Amino acid sequence: MPGQMRWLRLCAQPRRVTAAQVAAIVPHLPATVEKIGVFVDAALEEIVSTVQACGLTGVQLHFDAEPELPARLHERLGPELRILRVIHFNEQSAARHAAQLAEHSQNPHVDAVLVDSRTASAVGGTGVTFDWAAARTTLFQNAEAQEVKTRLIAAGGLNPDNVPKPSPRCALGRGCSLWR
């Protein structure tokens, strides 16, 4: 498919790998693979040093980081760094998630928003499914109606029964993503 790029999430919780392990893997990956580091509750300096040491091409901010963090990352690491913000969707907080999407989509330093689930003990990588019909209505359809320019990546317990229909602004987070 034209425009399709593969990506590899590195440093993901709970399947955490060390920076040294990532640095050993990255040189063996094809140039067409985005090397995305997943960061949970990480400080700016930790993210910067990990990206530099490992040769990452992007970061996934899997926490409620301050809105200025993506700009600060681009200042330190360059505008080519891919930056993904994460919304941990649940139906009870749908209005708050729609507001988060609006905020992230207005940030010129955010390349995409990954919609994921979480549990009480883990913020991602759980395989836990959430109400995709509610997410589709609240986030994905509203994003298209409002002509949100930021890419949306669907993740969080995806299976053949709940995979949303991809659109030009929505990609599936199963190891691939669509970028402009």
Residue 24 pLDDT class (50, 70, 90 cuts): very high
What is the per-residue pLDDT for 52? Answer: 96
- For the record, the structure tokens of 24 come out as 């050993």
Q: Are 84 and 61 in contact (CB under 8 A)?
A: yes
Mean pLDDT of 139-145: 63
Rounded Cα distance between 119 and 90, Å, is 10
Taking CA atoms, 132 is separated from 10, 69, 77, in Å, by 25, 29, 35
Taking CA atoms, 94 is separated from 5, 13, 153, in Å, by 29, 24, 17
What is the per-residue pLDDT for 133? Answer: 73
Q: Tell me the whole-structure pTM to 2 decimals.
A: 0.78
Mean pLDDT of 19-30: 90
Residue 152 has pLDDT above 70, yes or no: yes
The per-residue pLDDT for range 105-120, each reduced to its tens digit, is 889 999 998 888 776 6
Mean pLDDT of 83-104: 85
Q: Which residues of 17-55 are buried (b: 16+ CB within 10 A; e: fewer)?
A: eebeebbeebeeeeeeebbbbbbbebeeeebbebbeebe
The per-residue pLDDT for range 158-179, each reduced to its tens digit, is 666 666 555 544 444 443 333 3
What is the per-residue pLDDT for 174? Answer: 41
Q: What percent of the chain has pLDDT over 90?
A: 28
Residue 167: partners with Cβ closer than 8 Å, 6 or more residues away: 140, 144
Mean pLDDT of 11-35: 80
Question: CA nearest 12: which of 67, 60, 73?
Answer: 60
